[in-house]
Amino acid sequence: MPLDNSAQICTAAAVLTAAVCFQGWRILNKPESKHTATERSAAIVHGITGLIGNTPLIRINSLSDATGCEILGKAEFLNPGGSSKDRIALYLIEQAEKSGQLVPHTDSCIFEGTSGSTGISLAMVARAKGYLCHIVMPSDQAIEKSQLLERHGATVERVAPCSIVDKNNFVNVARRRAAEYGADDKSGTRRGYFVNQFENPLNSDAHYRSTGPEIFQQTNGHIHAFVHGSGTGGTIAGVTHYLKQQVPGIMSFLADPQGSGLANKVNHGVMFAATEREGTRRRQQVDTLVEGVGLNRLTRNFANLLKPMQGDSKGKCMLDGAVSVSDRDAVRMSRWLMANDGLFIGSSGAINCVTALHVAHRLGPGHTIVTILADSGQRHLTKFWNDQAMVSLGHDVNAPATLDIFEQQ
């Protein structure tokens, strides 16, 4: 029997109302990872620091298609300062302001010892907030990092690489410069602040509060493994701690460059690297062309990963394994990703992706693995992305024909 006009109108109104409500529900419940670029850029942010964080999580197609896993990279190179270090630069400076250690526009200066990326981030945030910045870095780091620091208005001091126990180690020099700065200021307003990223627990706290929650939200909690290297240990410690609290059974793996002893420490309990054998060492610190990650000592941030999580009756450390990645494979992976995905990443991102590939083979198809693409290859043009330099060290700079080459270890 046909409906009368009033019934038809009521039915249409009900359908329309339901549709509007459903669309509203979809908008309110849409996961952040599905937001379009237009939606992300709709809000006005307050200054350059407002652009820090909330970086996209991208599917690395070539690695995912080859393994049957979803291998995802967090595009930290899209932070305004060009790396994941923007997060700790902002967080540590803000915490120093809250505690009264820093006051803007007082001629105070931020000091740090860094391989480059943290310094660039600190210099950017310092300028935005009204501070000076003095960066001490090893002289064997890519020169473009020093140039970027200078363009950001920082004072750059390059020192010869040496052990952390040496008073002239870049970290120790930065600490000393901070103590000397403002010593003659009787008012006490002109201060030197030493960031101390390697031992400052606020480093990992920054990633516990930002990077970890972002990954959890972007994956809707559907994640089986996290992969990352360790320089200061802040990123891997903060993200691992957060995700292990949120996702039962999630695994975390260390990506470690050759020459670093951390992988052996995780896997066998002893700090050792093959390049430490007598007569084989070519370089001070960690003997690798990879910059920013790898150590032969335990930082405070990384050491916390070797302890069991609170409430873990088995007493296991928070890391589930480590992969030692050769310089050869780091170069190969960087060229593979450029040739097959158009991804132009730095050396630490390359070893992360090699490790993610190994973890995918270990876990098997159907798993989701997240790693960090910390910075762009633009910071490595004179070294890691300099084909002539790589060839002189015996590396093949042609993109591999197949990923099978990475399994031959």
Round the CA-based radius of gyration of the chain to a whole number and report it: 24
Sequence letter at residue 17: T
> Which two tokens mark 43?
């809000």
pLDDT of residue 289: 87
pLDDT of residue 187: 79
Q: Is residue 242 exposed (0-12), middle (13-18) or buried (19+ Cβ within 10 Å)?
A: buried
In a structure prediction context, what are the per-residue pLDDT tens digits for the chain, which is 409 residues long? 444 544 444 444 444 444 434 344 333 333 333 444 444 566 899 999 999 999 999 999 999 999 999 999 999 999 999 999 999 999 999 999 999 999 999 999 999 999 888 999 999 999 999 999 999 999 988 898 899 999 999 999 999 999 889 999 999 999 999 999 988 887 778 899 999 998 999 999 999 999 999 999 999 999 999 999 998 999 999 999 999 999 999 999 999 999 999 999 999 888 876 655 444 444 444 568 888 888 888 999 999 999 887 766 566 789 999 999 999 999 999 999 999 999 999 999 999 999 999 999 999 999 999 999 999 999 899 999 999 999 999 999 999 999 999 965 4
SS3 assignment, position 135? strand
pLDDT of residue 189: 84
Task: Please report, in angstroms and rounded to a whole number, the separation of the first and last CA atoms in the chain.
Answer: 76
Does the active-site annotation cover 74? no
> Which two tokens mark 30?
């849409």
d(CA 134, CA 150): 10
Task: Tell me which of 85, 244, 265, 383 is the catalytic residue.
Answer: 85
pLDDT of residue 276: 53
Helix spans in 254-297 (H): 262-268
Under 8 Å CB-to-CB from 319, ≥6 apart: which residues? Answer: 240, 252, 253, 254, 266, 305, 306
pLDDT of residue 275: 57
pLDDT of residue 212: 98
d(CA 71, CA 367): 8
